[in-house]
């Protein structure tokens, strides 16, 4: 939109076309018979011979997408670079173009732009500055290429953009009109003039409430002016705000035209999956219609409505009573469907139900169901067979400890087969061989010099790798020994700490076993003299 269009006459079967006996082909494509008449491999609308203007409204606002320019903006307030647009208010609207200045970093433009490479930005008051001014309201305006006629219905369609929410709170966007272009600009020399209604020559044509965050939104006004309108302006309403942030917004692709020019749009009827689904255009008694699917004419489909169940790109050629053709913008028809993939597991020797079939092996199964709206719902079930698992497990514990496998706990040496259910629901077998660690910690020490139990030690054979730490305390709770990285069977002399013929000591040891496990044990022993 916003680029204008050119009119041309379509070449129809009723028009004369020449035939070449040498090539045995028509020299011009007939555009509504679903035949490649000129044998160039292209049929109907797919052939360049069938050029026709696109049915889209031509905006009465010149340069509606701000693409035509005389310069690239170097900074804010450069609306003069955009051809035909007028800085309507003394407060300056900003011109943003990718060829130059493209706004403030702290007020990012939502991308992509609705149309082209340019847009405008405007404020609704200036706040948080030394010269705060709630009436610093920025408007952009234009003299129309043709006036809005009193009593005629018009549609004004435009895109409004919002930066981050704190700088783009919801607002009322107002469409103003004037019966004379001399009323543009307004409020010259007065930055506090505010909205155009604060002066003479302007009326409010319509308003709409809009909100968003980091996004563009398509909005529209429908107006029937009471008098001829030659100039328009768009921007915020007249209400003075009291904010701490500067409210900022963007506009792009402002299309203002007779409401009838918006009507040639293909619209769907019924749900896309409904057996009675159809496409339609507004009926114009003075126009003829020809429907196309993927650029090829649908023979006999010359009404304003088409019932179809075939997916594809649909267009309509509309020819008015003067023989001028227009092609609607394409409508891409596809039936929505859901595709879901799920994974299920089947245990060896068992089977599961997959939508009515018993499955006992791995595989992929695809089923199609109909939704409540008659759409296809495709479910892909991936079945994975789980083979039985058998594990031999050798483990050791200290006396007083227990070993857990699933819900089972074992505290004595045992050789046992344990059947468990995995997280997938299948059985697995564990052949457990459980034993005690071969470690001995004495509960009495006799430091009598006979070479037997003369000191405290942790005794172990191959099961015990090292004593990571050892702490010994007397009966008063005083630590009398601490050591680390001791060797198995390494004797600790504590005879000097014993003051009576019999004394109780406590210990805490951390033992590193040959299976890599670290065990923390504590207990007591008596020194006997």
SS3 labels along 138-189: CCEEEEEEEEECCCCCEEEEEEEEECCHHHCCCEEEEEEEECCHHHCCCCCC
For residues 151, 152, 157, 160, the Cα torsion angle rounded to the nearest 10 degrees is -20
Q: What is the mean pLDDT of residues 272-276?
A: 92
pLDDT tens readout for residues 335-357: 888 889 999 999 999 999 999 99
Tokens matching residue 102? 């493209």
E strands, 328-374, where? 331-333, 338-347, 352-354, 357-359, 363-370
Asked if the model's pLDDT at residue 97 lies above 90, the reply is yes
Phi, psi of 200 (to 5 degrees): -100, 160
**Cβ atoms of residues 281 and 264 within 8 Å:** yes
501: pLDDT confidence band, cut at 50, 70 and 90? low
Provide the percentage of residues in the chain whose pLDDT is more than 90.
74
**Cβ atoms of residues 148 and 154 within 8 Å:** yes
Classify 439-528 by CATH class: mainly beta
376 vs 224, residue with greater confidence: 224
Find where tokens 């090539």 sit: 23
Homologous superfamily (CATH) for 79-261: Galactose-binding domain-like (2.60.120.260)
Please tell me the distance from the alpha carbon of residue 240 to that of residue 209, in angstroms, as a whole number: 16
449: pLDDT confidence band, cut at 50, 70 and 90? confident
Asked if the model's pLDDT at residue 199 lies above 90, the reply is yes
Asked if the model's pLDDT at residue 10 lies above 70, the reply is no
In the chain, CATH 2.60.40.10 sits at 1-56+264-335
Give pLDDT, residue 196: 97
22: pLDDT confidence band, cut at 50, 70 and 90? very low
**Cβ atoms of residues 163 and 214 within 8 Å:** yes
Please tell me the distance from the alpha carbon of residue 489 to that of residue 329, in angstroms, as a whole number: 92
Q: What is the mean pLDDT of residues 461-465?
A: 88
Give pLDDT, residue 499: 53
Please tell me the distance from the alpha carbon of residue 366 to that of residue 333, in angstroms, as a whole number: 25
Among 121-125, 212-216, 295-299, 416-420, the range scoring the smallest mean pLDDT is 416-420
Give pLDDT, residue 4: 34
* Architecture of the domain delimited by 1-56+264-335: Sandwich (2.60)
Give pLDDT, residue 425: 85
Among 30-44, 364-378, 485-499, the range scoring the smallest mean pLDDT is 485-499
In the chain, CATH 2.60.120.260 sits at 79-261
Give pLDDT, residue 8: 37
Give pLDDT, residue 496: 62
pLDDT tens readout for residues 101-130: 999 999 999 999 999 999 999 999 999 877
Asked if the model's pLDDT at residue 5 lies above 80, the reply is no
């Amino acid at each position: 939109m916003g680029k204008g269009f050119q009119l041309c006459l379509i070449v129809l079967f009723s028009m004369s076309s020449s035939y070449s006996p040498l090539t045995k082909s028509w020299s011009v494509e007939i555009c509504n018979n679903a035949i490649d008449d000129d044998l160039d491999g292209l049929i109907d609308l797919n052939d360049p011979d069938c050029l026709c203007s696109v049915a889209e409204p031509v905006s009465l606002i010149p340069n509606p997408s701000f693409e035509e320019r005389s310069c690239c903006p170097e900074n804010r307030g450069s609306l003069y670079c955009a051809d035909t647009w007028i800085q309507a208010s003394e407060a300056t609207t900003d011109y943003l173009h990718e060829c130059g200045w493209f706004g403030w970093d702290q007020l990012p433009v939502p991308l992509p732009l609705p149309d082209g490479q340019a847009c405008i930005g405007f404020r609704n008051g200036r706040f948080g500055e030394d010269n705060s001014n709630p009436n610093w309201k920025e408007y952009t305006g234009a003299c129309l290429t043709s006036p809005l006629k009193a009593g005629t219905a018009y549609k004004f369609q435009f895109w409004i953009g919002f930066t981050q929410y704190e700088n783009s709170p919801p607002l009322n966007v107002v469409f103003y009109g004037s019966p004379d272009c001399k009323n543009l600009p307004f409020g010259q020399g007065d930055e506090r003039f505010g909205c155009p209604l604060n002066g003479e020559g302007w009326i409010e044509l319509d308003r709409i409430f809009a909100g968003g965050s980091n996004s563009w939104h398509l909005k529209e006004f429908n107006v029937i002016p009471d008098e001829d309108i030659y100039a328009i302006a768009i921007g915020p309403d007249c209400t003075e705000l009291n904010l701490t942030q500067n409210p900022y917004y963007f506009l792009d692709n402002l299309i203002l035209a007779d409401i009838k020019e918006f009507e040639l749009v293909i619209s769907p009827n019924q749900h896309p999956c409904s057996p009675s689904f159809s496409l339609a255009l507004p009926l114009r008694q003075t126009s003829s219609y020809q429907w196309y699917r993927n650029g090829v004419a649908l023979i006999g489909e010359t009404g304003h409505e088409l019932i179809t169940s075939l997916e594809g790109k649909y267009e309509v050629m509309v020819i008015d009573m003067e023989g001028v053709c227009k092609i609607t913008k394409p409508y891409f028809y596809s039936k929505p469907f859901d595709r879901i993939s799920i994974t299920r597991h089947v245990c060896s020797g068992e089977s599961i139900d997959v939508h009515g079939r018993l499955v006992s092996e791995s595989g992929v199964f695809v089923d199609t169901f109909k939704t409540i709206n008659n759409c296809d719902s495709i479910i892909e079930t991936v079945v994975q067979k789980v083979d039985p698992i058998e594990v031999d497990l050798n483990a050791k514990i200290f006396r007083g400890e227990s070993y857990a496998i699933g819900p089972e706990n074992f505290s004595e040496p045992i050789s046992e087969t344990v059947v468990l259910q995995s997280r997938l629901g299948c059985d697995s077998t564990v052949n457990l061989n459980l034993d005690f660690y071969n470690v001995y910690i004495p509960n009495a020490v006799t430091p009598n010099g006979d070479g037997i139990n003369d000191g405290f030690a942790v005794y172990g054979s191959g099961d015990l790798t090292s004593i990571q730490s050892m702490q010994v305390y007397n009966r008063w709770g005083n630590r009398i020994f601490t050591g680390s990285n001791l060797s198995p069977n390494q004797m600790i002399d504590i005879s000097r700490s014993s003051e009576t013929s019999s004394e109780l000591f406590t210990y805490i040891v951390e033992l590193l076993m040959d299976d890599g496990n670290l065990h923390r044990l504590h207990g007591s022993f008596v020194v006997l003299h």
